[in-house]
A and B are shown apart, each in its own frame.
Chain A
Amino acid sequence: MARVAGFLGYVRRNKGLGVGLALLLFLLLFATAGRLFVDTDDAYPLSAPTNQPPSREYPFGTDSQGRDLLATAVMGTGLTVRIGVIAGSLGLGLGTLLGFVAAYYGGVLDTIIRWVVDVLLTIPSLLVLVVIASTMGRKGMNVNGMALVVSILAWMWPTRTIRAQVLTLRERAFVRVAQLSGESDLEIIFKELMPNLLPFLGASLVGSVTGAVFASLGLQALGLGPMREPTLGMTIYWVMYYGAFVRGMWWWIITPIAIIVILFVGLFLLSAGLDEIANPRLRRKV
């Protein structure tokens, strides 16, 4: 109980973290509890009359394919976040592994990994994703497929940053002492180095997820996402496809954009808040 109180006390001082968490929590509730209030089938075409502005029956209105936009929003938020989390985690996981290996063992392994990462980073990632996504074909793409595609390029930046962190940690005296105590290399990586990087990894995860969500939105808006699923990105695609701007269907446009804004602001504040925890020097002075 004391820990919760301590945590809340810290959050009160670090307002950014608090607001960020609140926003994300709100979205999470919206996506999960919201399912209790809507029929998820209504998020698919031909569930409702088309092009209806918001009304009592359809609080968010409907779109040109007959989707209940409230259901779409609820489903979409969940799906988009899921894509982001899966891709972000995969990317971070692979990046962490490669970063540790490259930094700790050094030598040829390090050179190879670094070279691959540096080369791949120079390629415009959207281009690569577009190529990959289009070869996969529209029929084959589902939510998990989308996550995998995005994660292909999500591991490179974490590899670099984690490698840099481990490089600095590796030279510290406590690693030497661990070696003198008979710890093996793997033990040192997992028992000595990893715990010290947890705050950094936490912040990196948020960054990773943000990047993944961003990439997936981009792909979907271009029409390369899972066409059948009501993700936020796909909603934007349909908005453009059906010319919602020209037709003045503001209710269709506003919902996904509002949710995306809340999502990104929340992620950003969370990241900044975690930054402060990981780097005590940034902590507010009393």
Chain B
Amino acid sequence: MTALMELRNVTKVYSGGLFRKRYTVALEDIFLPIGGERPGILTIAGESGSGKTTMGMLLLGFLAPTRGQILYQGKDLWQMPKTEWMTFRREVQAIFQDPFEVYNPFYKVDHVLTVPIAKFRLARSKEETRALVEEALLGVGLRPDETLGRYPHQLSGGQRQRITVARALLLKPRLIIADEPVSMVDASLRATILESLRKLNREMGISILYITHDLATAYHISENIVVLYQGSVTEAGDVDSVIKEPQHPYTQLLVSSIPWPDPDRRWEREELVARGETLEEETRGCKFAPRCPFVMSICHESHPPLFRTDSSRAAACYLYKDAPVIEGSDIGGVLGRGERVPLEEGQAPAT
């Protein structure tokens, strides 16, 4: 299955500092295929410093990798001729986190919808443009007469974010990178926006890369998940099992820290498994070793590869060193499995 986009051995390093050059490794040796014949929703989960936003920027072509390649339909993004780049631009779109910042305050909100229609020549007349815009707005549950012709500050955050989704709907891309699309939206509106994303995937066959730190929403919207910690993949696979039975100690920590909205399910009363935050530590081995409750000597010596613990699961942890090692792009095999049958309301998932 050829992937739509692929990160091939990608490393991104930021350098800074005046006298002492300080290097921040945002992403290291990442292999990841995205999208393909069966468009799905993949979550990239991680906290701040995990590299998830960098990954989004790399995939959108806003950043160039320090090492490795970013492929679009098999071709290197940074070696593409201009025409192919324009196609890429049209076919890979994004939804960003801040519903206010994505609008140019000088223009009305229509601007963000009409400009791409014009640039990508999606309509041939003003009427066609108007029709496309209205159809897209209705598709996300907004009323054109209540939203068009207004300035961004005259609309609510939820409305603005929905317009961003309408924009994606309008362009009918093949892949949408959604970087924390609901984290700045009120809880009551999150459901609508996430539901729109699901609709885009199911009805229009658009692959979605859902970047987030919120595992609760990730669980509901995606089929597969990749967990990042300080620039490396720690765990990947089917989202149900990864969240319900996390294998990597970091994922276990993450899942146990989620504040579930259920007063009967409080955080375990015992002492948190990992030690607190550390300040600046460089390790040659596993990056989580300083905080890991299961740390062994081998963990400090070299960075663990991804071990395939199951047909649809993998973890980069020496606890599973007897499992076969996944090389490079084979990670796709772990993410491509699992027929996802949409559940009926109220139905419990089959184990």
Contact = CB atoms under 8 A, between A and B. Distances in A.
B133 to A, nearest CB: 13
B96 interface: yes
Given A173-B96, A176-B62, A176-B96, A181 B116 contact: yes
B86 interface: yes
A180 B94 contact: yes
A115 interface: no
Nearest to B152: A174
Interface in B65-122: 86, 89-90, 93-94, 96, 98, 101-107, 112, 115-116, 119-120
Interface string A134-163: 000000000000000000000000000000
B25 interface: no
A172 interface: yes
Contacts of B105: 196
Given A176-B62, A177-B96, A182 B102 contact: no
Nearest to B89: A182
B60 interface: yes
Given A173-B96, A173-B98, A182-B90, A196 B106 contact: yes
Contacts of A174: 101-104, 112
Contacts of B60: 176, 180
Nearest to A177: B102
Contacts of B94: 176-177, 180
Given A176-B96, A183-B115, A196 B104 contact: yes
Q: Taking chain B's interface residues, is the majority helix, strand, or loop, or is none over half, making it mixed?
A: loop
Contacts of A172: 101
Nearest to B116: A181
A178 interface: yes
Contact of A181 (B62, B96, B106, B115): B115
B278 to A, nearest CB: 30
Interface string A166-180: 000000111011111
B112 A182 contact: no
B120 A192 contact: no
A182 B115 CA distance: 8
Q: Which of B93, B101, B104, B107 has the most CB of A within 10 A?
A: B104
Q: Which of A174, A176, A183 has the most CB of B within 10 A?
A: A174
Contacts of B107: 195
A180 B167 CA distance: 11
Contacts of A196: 104-106
A118 B339 CA distance: 62
A183 B60 CA distance: 15
B70 to A, nearest CB: 16
Nearest to B101: A173
User: What are the 6 A-B residue pairs with the smallest beta carbon separation, nearest first?
Assistant: A182-B119, A181-B116, A173-B101, A195-B106, A174-B104, A173-B102
9 contacts: A173-B102, A174-B102, A176-B60, A176-B62, A176-B96, A176-B102, A177-B96, A183-B119, A196-B106
